[in-house]
Chain A
Amino acid sequence: MTETKPSPVPGVRIGQMSFVWRPWLVLVTLLLAAAGFLVFCLSISVGDFPIGLSRVIATLFGRGEQVDEFVVMDLRMPRALAGLVVGVALGVSGAITQSVARNPLASPDVLGITGGAGMVAVFLVTVSGGIAAAVVSSVGLTVAALAGGLGAGLLVYFLAWRRGIDGFRLILIGISVSAMTEAVTTWLLVSADIRDVARAQAWLVGSLDNRSWDEVRVALWCSLALMAVVACVAFQFKPMHLGDEVAAGLGVRYTRVRALLLLCAVLLAAVAVSAAGPVPFVALVAPQVAMRLARCPTPPMVASGLTGALLLTGSDLVARSVLPIGLPVGVVTAAIGGPFLVYLLVRANLR
């Protein structure tokens, strides 16, 4: 600041590449990544057979003992990794939907994705025989739920389409479709056999219990692929924060970019829901928290994903270690994320 008129927007250049230099955003992102990794390791170390943090890290890098390796890699890793993947997927998905709609209310929960996946899952669990059994045996509950979430998300998108996409219309239709799917879910639960209801409920609250390596692997690869697409398109998306017409003036084919990104957001949320159940609130709160921590005017993608991972893994850790009864993670994410967002909002008011 003391120098003679520095460039208003500092840049950084690495060979052919050049980016705007935002030290605070980079710092916050690195801190979030470090915190995420720490909580991830803690999540592995805690359990009936506690393993020290240093031993967990050693094992992760392939220098652990045989005993630890079995517990860490085979027993606890899937759960911790599922928390990480689902958290990142929900965080990024929320950042996209909120940016596209230019409205913080637009999270995958509101846009019907969670509701659609939940409805399909409950239908398959509670309705025995016939089509339901055939579907479950052929593709599995996870994939069917994913399809349900995708279907509901696309339905909302096409219903909201009227010479382009308007944020408010998207949210209103999302809320309507969510309400319908929830009504169907409730009806299924009320009319179903009590034992099936218990199974369906366990799925509906969102939980990381009993994840298998296979399930986690599918979610991991799907999320990675989708995030690669998001990373490619993100540059074209930058001017869209200024509105469709300004973006068009700056040479962005906004309908195409937006449709592609929304599709990625819907798929990411659907992957997350199919892997861990409809964990509430992460997709809504993570981008908003990341935005305030990083002091960005719009949800930063990477930081949002990391915040989501931190929130979900941290909540799972709290649910398992601090609380006396084994609460499902979905209950804790809302209990931790909600007050934290309120705190950030109130702090902004006081300044």
Chain B
Amino acid sequence: MKDESDYPENGGPVAVHQTTTEVESEGRDAARLAARGITVGYGGRTVIDELDVAIPPGVITTIIGPNGCGKSTLLRTLTRLLKPVKGAVVLDGEDIAGLRTRDVAKKLGLLPQAPVAPEGLTVADLVARGRHPHQSWLRQWSSDDADVVASALAMTGVSELADRPVDSLSGGQRQRVWISMTLAQGTDLLLLDEPTTYLDLAHAIDVLDLVDDLHESGCTVVMVLHDLNLATRYSDNLIVMREGAILAQGHPRDVITAGLLEEAFGLRAMVIDDPVGDRPLIVPIGRTHVSLN
């Protein structure tokens, strides 16, 4: 059918588009996904005003910021769930608003915040749904689909759960399954909106390790996280937002400072070296149980 994708998941056309982007953005590093002067709002209230951002390829980018700063709004605009009032989101050199929804879905995988599966839906059926952008009315299930789904299940470590209903799993397993569905979509650009919501710390680490595996395998990941230390540990590029604007962007080592935390979150904190990692560690200073002034 006409919708069947001719191009491979990585390579050819991507490289071509990257050069286009480079030319257009005058030297900005070959971002596959970028926002140019976007203004986004809900019903008259402007959340993001004239924002520019480029997502560097091949790394994990995490958007952080206080509640209501517009980080989810930015992520949702980048995935075309929200339409900017002004400006454009550019995917592989093309305005995302002008692309067909299916074509966007073949390039960009999206996992919304806290998705819910129908009661009784099995893991395999949920992950299989991720193939939808590659299917058509006549070709609803090809052998390619079966292979991709099997490897997506294996990659996220949920092959053993394939026949179980999604609602019978633990929160962490469930999130793995959802990520597996996004993987089955076969895109190397993944946008995850708070993938660790409602998870305890152990499960959150588990899911983020999985995200890091995906990054190692060549995916570009953009996510929104609430936990600053997890964001610092797991990302190569942080976007710090406040009141709909970007306050700072860069590697956690360059971005995370006590001054920035105070400015962005109004949080008094100490930034020390992470004893188990090569990233900074944020130690918040509250009012009680604090021994230094």
Q: With the chains together, A269 CA to B109 CA distance in Å?
A: 37
A228 within 8 A of B: no
A99 to B100, CA, bound (A): 25
Chain A, range 155-205, C-beta contacts under 8 Å to B:
163
State how many angstroms separate the Cβ of B164 from the closest Cβ of chain A. Answer: 11
- A16–B182 touching, CB < 8 Å: no
Chain B min CB distance to A244 (Å): 9
Task: Give the residue among A8, A11, A19 with the most B Cβ atoms within 10 A.
Answer: A8
Q: Number of A-B pairs whose CB atoms are under 8 Å? A: 124
Contact A246 B43 (CB under 8 A): no
By a CB distance below 8 angstroms, the chain A residues around B115 are 242-243, 245-246
The answer to whether B140 and A18 have CB atoms under 8 Å apart is yes
Residues of chain A with a CB closer than 8 A to B123's CB: 8
Contacts of A12 in B (CB 8 A): 141
Q: How far is the CA of A249 from the CA of B129 in the complex (A)?
A: 11
B120 within 8 A of A: yes
Pick the contact of A249: B112, B127, B128, B139 (CB < 8 A).
B112
**Beta-carbon contacts of B61-104 to A below 8 Å, as 1s and 0s?**
00000000000000000011100000000000000000011111
B143-186 residues with Cβ-Cβ distance < 8 A to A are: 143, 145-146, 149-150, 153, 159, 162-163, 165, 181-182, 185
Asked if A248 and B110 sit within 8 Å, CB to CB, the answer is: yes
Q: Would you call B43 and A297 a contact (CB within 8 A)?
A: no
Query: Closest CB-CB distance, A259 to chain B, in whole Å?
Result: 15
Q: Is the beta-carbon distance between B141 and A8 smaller than 8 angstroms? A: no
Interface presence of B276 (CB below 8 A): no
Contacts of B106 in A (CB 8 A): 251
**Top 5 A-B residue pairs of the complex, sorted by shortest distance between their CB atoms:** A251-B105, A249-B110, A245-B112, A8-B124, A297-B120
Stretch at the interface among A40-48, A126-134, A140-148, A232-240: A232-240
In the bound complex, residues from chain B placing their C-beta under 8 Å from that of A163 are 42-43
Identify the closest chain B residue to A234 (Cβ): B137
Cα(A238)–Cα(B146), bound, Å: 17
Would you give the 0/1 interface string for A288-315, flagging 1 where the beta carbon is closer than 8 Å to chain B? 0000000111100000000000000000
Q: What are some 29 contacts across the A-B interface (CB < 8 A)?
A: A7-B146, A8-B162, A8-B163, A11-B146, A16-B138, A18-B141, A163-B42, A163-B43, A235-B136, A235-B137, A238-B129, A241-B117, A242-B116, A245-B110, A245-B112, A245-B115, A246-B111, A248-B101, A248-B110, A249-B108, A249-B109, A249-B111, A251-B105, A295-B120, A297-B120, A297-B121, A297-B125, A298-B118, A298-B121
Please give, as numbers and ranges, the residues of chain B lying within 8 Å of A67 by CB-CB distance. Answer: none
A320 within 8 Å of B (CB atoms): no
| Residue of B whose beta carbon sits closest to that of A21 | B141
Within 8 A of B (CB), among A1-54: 7-13, 16-21
Which A residue sits closest to B158, measured CB to CB? A8
Given contacts A9-B125, A248-B81, 19 further A-B contacts (CB under 8 A): A7-B150, A8-B146, A8-B149, A8-B150, A9-B141, A11-B145, A18-B142, A19-B141, A239-B129, A242-B115, A242-B129, A243-B115, A245-B110, A245-B115, A248-B101, A249-B110, A249-B111, A250-B132, A251-B102
Q: Within 8 Å of chain B (Cβ to Cβ): is A102?
A: yes
A251, B101: Cβ atoms closer than 8 Å: yes
Judge if A253 is at the interface, Cβ distance under 8 Å: yes
Q: Does A57 contact B (CB under 8 A)?
A: no
Q: Say if the beta carbon of B57 comes within 8 Å of chain A.
A: no
Q: Does A252 sit within 8 A of B, measured CB to CB?
A: yes
> Number of B residues contacting the other chain (C-beta, 8 Å)?
56
Interface magnitude class on chain A: 20 to 34
Asked if B278 lies at the interface with its beta carbon under 8 angstroms from chain A, I say no
Given A8-B162, A163-B43, A249-B79, A20 contacting B128 (CB threshold 8 A) = yes
- Report Cα–Cα, A8/B135, bound state, in Å: 18
- CB-CB < 8 A to B136: which residues of A? 235
In the complex, B24 has a CB within 8 A of chain A? no
CB <8 Å contact, B101 and A253: yes
Contact of B117 among A20, A242, A250, A253 (CB under 8 A): A242
Q: Which residues of B lie under 8 Å from residue A241 when comparing CB positions?
A: 117-118, 121
| Contacts from A to B (Cβ < 8 Å) | 7-13, 16-21, 102, 163, 232, 235, 238-239, 241-243, 245-246, 248-253, 295-298
Known: A163-B43, A239-B129, A251-B102. A8 touches B112 (CB 8 A): no
A298 to B81 CA separation, bound complex (whole angstroms): 25
- For the complex formed, measure the closest distance between the CB of A291 and the CB atoms of chain B, giving whole angstroms: 9
Using CB atoms, name the residue of chain B closest to A7: B146
Q: Which residues of A sit under 8 angstroms from B139, Cβ to Cβ?
A: 16-18
Which B41-63 residues have C-beta < 8 A from chain A? Answer: 42-43
A residues within 8 A CB of B102? 251
Q: Are B111 and A9 in contact (CB under 8 A)?
A: no
Contacts of B138 in A (CB 8 A): 16-18
Q: Is B26 an interface residue (CB 8 A)?
A: no
A241 to B119, CA, bound (A): 10
Among B112, B118, B142, the residue within 8 A (CB) of A102 is: B118
A123: min CB distance to chain B, Å? 38
Shortest distance between the CB of B245 and any CB in chain A (Å) = 24
Known: A11-B145, A16-B139, A18-B142. A250 touches B121 (CB 8 A): no
Q: In this complex, what residue of B is CB-closest to A246?
A: B115
B115, B140, B142, B145: most-surrounded residue (chain A CB, <10 A): B140
Distance of A297 Cα from B128 Cα, bound (Å): 14
A253 to B103 alpha-carbon distance, docked (Å)? 12
Q: Are A249 and B182 in contact (CB under 8 A)?
A: yes
Instruction: Report the Cα distance A9→B142, complex, angstroms.
Output: 11
Inside 8 A of B42's CB, which chain A residues have their CB? Answer: 163
Contacts of A16 in B (CB 8 A): 138-139
